[in-house]
Structure 1
């Protein structure tokens, strides 16, 4: 009986950790964008999408654990999160490879330059002055890794946590 309780606790802790990790990761990206002034390229924005889809699923996994809904529900939700993080990992590997010149990136890689003002009088000046970043160049490297490279690591860790929690079997 204690194995079942332990497995349930492991799933809840896993759901909490993976959801908090996803919120922290995408929150950091948004912080670098809105506070740090790093305008993301199209591939950067694409890498955020698995997080945007998986965070609500993580909240559902937490709630399923708290309300002791059928174990299979929490396990399935954790597997879906793990798959989303593997997709994020793949997108990060692709973008990192583009940045390192291992393979070509998309032919067009530009964002809507979210830092453009909404003041109509300055709009033309902003359009001429603000250039959307290229997917081929890392905006910043920390310990040799770009944002895309760090996303690969974060996605791998988060996928591991989700799959580990989903694999805990009840007695």
Structure 2
């Protein structure tokens, strides 16, 4: 029996295990929502929307690894929580840009893909330019970026709290 975790296998139990699950469920759900709103809901993400997704992919990988590397589960869960918090911080910054509290770091952009010159030109002409300072969709007066900030930052705090409970 592992004295630290109280389990027979050395895998975390109780609050720490819940933290591990949150470290994969939160970024997984937020990514599913983002991809669903893009591909099913027709919302085109701006550049900062993509920035918010990258840390969630990292958190998802780290959280998943925590289940396969029990000796490093606590560290990996903490790193996943930090990645989730990074996405939340980017979401907070993006929400501030949308509210015109400050300016964004980049100009408006679009994701352009293509191989040949003709394909590239066609892609440029048919790809919508999405402004980072305009809210495309809101719920209860908050944009998707603001919701990402709220959910990510509170979840990261909860994961860190659960992971460090004894």
Query: TM-score under structure 1 normalisation?
Result: 0.80
Aligned residues: 160
Cα deviations by residue, 1:77-121 (Å, 9 ceiling, x for unpaired): 11101211221111011100000000011341212157xx99x99
Structure with more helix by fraction: 1
Verify: 1:157 aligned to 2:146, yes or no: no
Q: State the alpha-carbon separation in 2 of the partners of residues 17 and 86 from structure 1.
A: 13
* Residue of structure 2 in register with 1:87 after alignment: 86
In 2: Cα distance, 1:121 partner to 1:76 partner: 48
Highest RCO, 1 vs 2 (Cα 8 Å, sep ≥ 6) = 1
**CA-atom RMSD, angstroms?**
2.7
Structure 2 contact 112–120 (Cα < 8 Å) conserved: no
Distance 2:123 2:82 in 1: 40
Which residue of structure 2 lines up, in the alignment, with residue 60 of structure 1?
65
Separation in 1, partners of 2:95, 2:77? 26
Is the counterpart of residue 144 in structure 1 residue 141 in structure 2?
Answer: yes
Taking structure 1 as reference, are residues 124 and 3 closer, same or farther at Cα in structure 2, changes over 3 Å only?
A: closer
Cα 1:124/1:4, change in 2 over 3 Å? closer
Report the counterpart of residue 22 of structure 1 in structure 2.
27
Unaligned runs of 5+ in 1: none
